[in-house]
Amino acid sequence: MTPTEEKNTDIVEAGDNASVQERHDTVAGMDNEVAEKSSVGKDGGDGRDHGRNNDEAEGKSGYDAGAEKRTAGDDDDEEEVNEAEVEMSFWGHLEALRWVLVRVAVVLAVLVVAAFIAMPYVFDSFILGPTTSDFFLYRFFASLGTRIPFLPDFGDQDFSVSIININVASQFMTHISTSFWLALVLVFPYLIYEIWKFIRPALFPKEVSSMRTAFVMGTGMFYLGCAVGYCIVFPFTFRFLVEYQISASDLVVNQINLNSYIGIFIMMIFVMGVVFELPLLAWILSKLGLIHKDMLRKFRKYAVVALLVLAAVITPTGDPFTLSLVFIPLYLLYELSIALVAQKQPDED
């Protein structure tokens, strides 16, 4: 090969090597571009993911902050409500008391209407029951067979008292008044319940159970006193007064007026109902620290005299038996009061 040909061959080979090197450089450049794009895409994805995470974290923190604000707001509202309940003004108490009286008046009016409708059926069998020998107490003593000293003759099966009316409007007015008093007896538990609801927010937790017991006991004792008045005190008193004769020749005839009968009937039943609240009154005074067991025991002999006077006022009869029928329950109530009140607390240094 001539030198010229060798030179040409070297030139061709150098050109080929240059072309191959250019192709390698081109491929390396394309690979670098792909790698850069991948890197950029990866970095962008990571950025987007990081942005989304930041947004979610910020949204969650904002929600939590809002929830905390709402919870704080609810707590503030509850505190404001509680403070409003605790720190009720004088006029607020008057408004609450007014609604208590309104509710009691509405219930009382409903019961008055119901009692007015039922009165013709109740009047003969219940209110006028002690005027005939069919009354259960008369039959009980008649079944004993023997006459008890100082007592009327309960074995008289012909005993009957006719009630007369001398006023034109007396029966209508008696119908209304009797319906009212009967409704007042029936509304007593609801009245106690409304009073309990009114004073309960002002009580301490330890006082709530005590006052609940007091109201329940007061209601039960009131009805027990009314039952004693109707079943025992009034029938004996009425029977004695009706059969009492000032004239030896029976020239004076008893004609019982309707107003007189209803007046003594209601008075004795309600008086006995109120008197049976004596243990409750003693218990409340004991809680206030005004009385104690030793005080009631010390004044027992004076209380016996006072109870005898009270029994004589309740029963205007002069016979010892009827007087004892009222006195014995009153004395038992006094002893029950002694059992309920607390002992005297020692003086603190």
Q: What is residue 104's predicted lDDT score, i.e. its pLDDT? A: 92
Over the chain, what is the mean pLDDT? Answer: 74
**DSSP-assigned letters across all residues of 22-90:** HHHHHHHHHHHHHHHHHHHHHHHHHHHHHHHHHHHHHHHHHHHHHHHHHHHHHHHHHHHHHHHHHT--H
| pLDDT confidence tier of residue 70, bands split at 50, 70 and 90 | very low
d(CA 65, CA 68): 5
**Sequence-ordered list of residues with C-beta below 8 angstroms from that of 331, at least 6 positions apart, any chain:** 304, 307
Q: H helices within 123-154, ranges in order?
A: 136-143
| pLDDT confidence tier of residue 147, bands split at 50, 70 and 90 | low
Lowest mean pLDDT among 62-66, 145-149, 286-290: 62-66
| pLDDT confidence tier of residue 117, bands split at 50, 70 and 90 | very high
Lowest mean pLDDT among 50-59, 130-139, 236-245: 50-59
**Helices 90-122, 170-199: inter-axial angle, 10-degree rounding:** 140
Does residue 23 have a pLDDT over 80? no
Does residue 3 have a pLDDT over 50? no
Query: With b meaning 16 or more CB within 10 Å and e meaning fewer, what string describes 61-92?
Result: eeeeeeeeeeeeeeeeeeeeeeeeeeeeeeee
Does residue 65 have a pLDDT over 50? no
For the chain, what are the domain ranges?
9-87, 89-224
Report yes or no: 136 and 230 within 8 Å, Cβ to Cβ. Answer: no
